[in-house]
Amino acid sequence: MAIHRHDFVEEYTGLVGFGLDRPTDEATVLVYLQKFSDDECMAAILPRLSQEELAMLFDTVSDLLRRHLEEEEYHAKFLKDPEPHHHAPVEE
């Protein structure tokens, strides 16, 4: 059973364009990200990215996740792990 979904891009019929208003901007970013993360698109673009571009993408997404999701949300919504595994503190 798949746990990741990309339903929005399949169902959205509104305007895809940036700069008109906040709701359209949000919808456009969501459409772009879901299309960008499509397996076929990723297979084509990833080998063409430089190491710096890969790092930039990883750092940007990681930073956004850190700044805008609480730990529980990060585990539930991004990792799809509703029960985060708490590790025992490392003893020095």
74 and 56 housed in the same domain: yes
Q: Is the C-alpha dihedral spanning 15, 19, 25, 30 positive or negative?
A: positive
Q: Are 37 and 29 in contact (CB under 8 A)?
A: no
pLDDT at res. 29: 98
Q: Residue 80 phi/psi, 5° resolution?
A: 60, 35
**Domain range holding 31?**
1-48
- Indicate whether 60 and 76 sit together in one domain: yes
- What pLDDT score does 88 carry? 46
Confidence at residue 85, expressed as pLDDT on a 0 to 100 scale: 64
The tokens of 92 are what? 């020095």
How many Cα neighbours within 13 Å face the side chain of 63? 6
The C-alpha atoms of residue 25 and residue 80 are separated, in whole angstroms, by 26
Give the residue from 1, 3, 9 showing the smallest Cα distance to 79: 3
Res 1: pLDDT:
78
User: What is the predicted pLDDT for the residue at 54?
Assistant: 98
Would 91 be classed as within a structural domain?
A: no
67 in a structural domain = yes
Helix (H) or strand (E) holding 35: helix 22-36
**Number of folded domains that form the chain:** 2
Per-residue pLDDT reduced to its tens digit, 74-89: 999 999 986 766 554 5
pTM: 0.81
pLDDT tens-digit profile of 2-53? Answer: 888 899 999 999 999 999 999 999 999 999 999 999 999 999 999 999 999 9
44 & 55 share domain: no
- Are 12 and 35 found together in one domain? yes
Residue 40 belongs to a domain: yes
Average pLDDT over residues 56-76: 96
